[in-house]
């Protein structure tokens, strides 16, 4: 057991040493964390050859080769389209190679690896990997519609929260007075048709019945969640005032309709109009 472990450690040590003593290395790998599905992403690999001779530079998406540079061959650069990405172009300089990829409009995460190898007989390989996720962030906060300014105890309202276009589409959570609202079976998040790049908007309705004993205000909040790492939250808020007869008396001083004008004059007038239609 102990022997086995020692062997594993010495193997690790040997591979570490060979990395350290290898004459060439990848000095910088630039892969954007997020790629917008509407534009090409540029990935670059910078390397240092020391006194070794470059044999090839290869790029892989996951395990599939998408780019190959062989300075000694007639066709120096070759590009390969693979599932999930279109390879638009690539070029190399003395100690760097750049490849431009157009991701398919799907919210995926893939590993991009740059591999630099030296000429024979050593054929030493230096390799580095970074991940890129295809994502389009929402540019606007969600919007709540259907929220009245005032509501009576016992009444119900149908709220609708709609989000901006994004990839993947945003999930939606509803809160009332900071308590998350479990969706009813028919109230799941609905999706719009896709735009270019696969972006979709989403919306979700919430039916609220105001309890008979309620008074004061309901604080309504809709949260849109983009499930990337870390997740991106945006929100919209609305306040719905719950009125009762006792609260109305604060606004209406007598039958003649002389009402008290406060800072919330619009609401007061609305209440007054409502009362006079009773």
Ligand X SMILES: *[C@@H]1O[C@H](CO)[C@@H](O)[C@H](O)[C@H]1NC(C)=O
Between 29 and 86, name the residue whose CB sits nearer to ligand X. Answer: 86
Q: Does 87 bind ligand X (CB under 6 A)?
A: yes
Between 11 and 81, name the residue whose CB sits nearer to ligand X. Answer: 81
Residues 6+ apart with CB under 8 A from 43: 30, 31, 32, 59, 98, 99, 100, 101, 112, 114, 132
Name the pairing type of β-strands 190-191 and 202-209: antiparallel
Residues 6+ apart with CB under 8 A from 65: 58, 59, 80, 82
Q: Does 236 bind ligand X (CB under 6 A)?
A: no
Where are the alpha helices (H) located in the chain, listed in sequence order? 2-21, 245-251, 265-276
Q: Nearest to residue 69, comparing CAs of 54, 56, 80? A: 56
Q: Does 160 bind ligand X (CB under 6 A)?
A: yes
Listed ranges 79-87, 111-119, 220-228, 236-244: which one lies at the site for ligand X (CB under 6 A)? 79-87
Listed ranges 46-54, 80-88, 181-189, 227-235: which one lies at the site for ligand X (CB under 6 A)? 80-88
- Contact pick of 81, 129, 231, 258 for ligand X (by CB under 6 A): 81
Q: Cα dihedral angle (76, 110, 84, 86), rounded to 10 degrees?
A: -30
Query: Total residues at the site for ligand X (CB under 6 A)?
Result: 8
Least CB distance to ligand X at residue 189 (A) = 11
Q: Does 86 bind ligand X (CB under 6 A)?
A: yes
Least CB distance to ligand X at residue 31 (A) = 19
The phi, psi pair for 94, rounded to 5°, reads -50, -50
Q: Does 27 bind ligand X (CB under 6 A)?
A: no
Least CB distance to ligand X at residue 231 (A) = 22
Between 86 and 176, name the residue whose CB sits nearer to ligand X. Answer: 86
In the complex, which residues of this chain contact ligand X (CB under 6 A)?
A: 79, 81, 86-87, 160, 162, 203, 205
């Amino acid at each position: 057991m102990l022997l086995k472990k020692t062997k594993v450690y010495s193997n690790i040590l040997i591979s570490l040493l060979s990395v350290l003593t290898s004459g060439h290395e990848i000095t910088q790998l630039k892969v954007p964390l997020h790629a917008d599905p509407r534009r090409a992403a540029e990935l670059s690999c910078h390397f240092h050859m020391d006194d070794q001779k470059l044999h090839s530079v290869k790029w892989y998406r996951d395990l599939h080769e998408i780019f190959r540079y062989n300075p000694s061959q007639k066709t120096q650069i070759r590009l390969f389209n693979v599932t999930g990405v279109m390879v638009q172009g690539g070029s190399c300089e003395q100690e760097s190679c750049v490849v431009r990829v157009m991701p398919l409009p799907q919210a995926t995460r893939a590993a991009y690896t740059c591999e630099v190898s030296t000429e024979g007989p050593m054929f030493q390989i230096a390799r580095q990997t970074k991940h890129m996720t295809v994502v389009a962030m929402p540019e606007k906060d969600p919007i709540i519609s259907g929220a009245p300014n005032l509501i009576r105890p016992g009444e119900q309202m149908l709220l609708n929260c709609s989000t901006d276009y994004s990839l993947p589409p945003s999930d939606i959570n509803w809160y009332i007075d900071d308590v998350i609202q479990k969706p009813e079976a028919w109230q799941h998040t609905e999706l719009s048709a896709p735009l270019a790049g696969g972006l979709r908007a989403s919306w979700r309705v919430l039916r609220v019945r105001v309890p008979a004993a309620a008074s004061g205000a309901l604080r309504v909040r809709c949260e849109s969640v983009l499930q990337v790492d870390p997740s991106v939250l945006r929100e919209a808020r609305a306040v719905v005032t719950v009125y009762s007869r006792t609260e109305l008396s604060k606004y209406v001083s007598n039958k003649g309709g002389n009402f008290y004008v406060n800072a919330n004059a619009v609401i007061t007038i609305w209440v007054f109009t409502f009362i006079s239609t009773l």
